[in-house]
């Protein structure tokens, strides 16, 4: 397992991403969307589960489209009838329309 969050510096992020790409024993990556939303390559993943959505829908839309480009599956874990669920539904509609 690897983890990238706000405490991970750029050097650690690069090392961890490279390890995730090359080491078949590293099967899970726990990432903060704000700490891992730019400059990393996780194309060897087969499934991405979002347990958080960023307050700016543009960040989530960008993350979703990057997954789409690599042919990855995205799953969103959100609690029903919350603001996050509403944003998630809008995100899904926007991604399906584009």
Query: In the chain, how many domains are there?
Result: 1
Taken in order 95, 66, 33, 79, is the CA torsion positive or negative? positive
Instruction: Provide the residue range defining the domain that includes 49.
Output: 2-97
Q: Which residue from 42, 56, 43, 40 is spatially nearest to 90, judged by alpha carbons?
A: 56
pLDDT, one tens digit per residue, over 66-93 is: 778 888 877 777 667 777 677 767 766 7
**What CATH code is carried by the domain that includes residue 35?**
3.40.50.300
pLDDT, one tens digit per residue, over 9-48 is: 888 888 988 898 898 888 888 888 777 777 777 778 887 7
Q: What is the reported pTM?
A: 0.66
């Amino acid at each position: 397992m690897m983890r990238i969050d706000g405490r991970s510096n750029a050097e650690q992020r690069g090392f961890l991403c490279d390890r995730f790409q090359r080491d078949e024993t590293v099967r899970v990556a726990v990432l903060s969307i704000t700490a891992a939303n730019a400059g990393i390559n996780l194309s060897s993943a087969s499934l991405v589960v979002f347990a958080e959505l960023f307050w700016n829908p543009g960040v989530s839309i960008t993350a979703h489209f990057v997954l789409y480009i690599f042919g990855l599956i995205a799953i969103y874990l959100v609690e029903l009838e919350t603001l996050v669920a509403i944003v998630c539904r809008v995100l899904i509609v926007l991604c399906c329309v584009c």
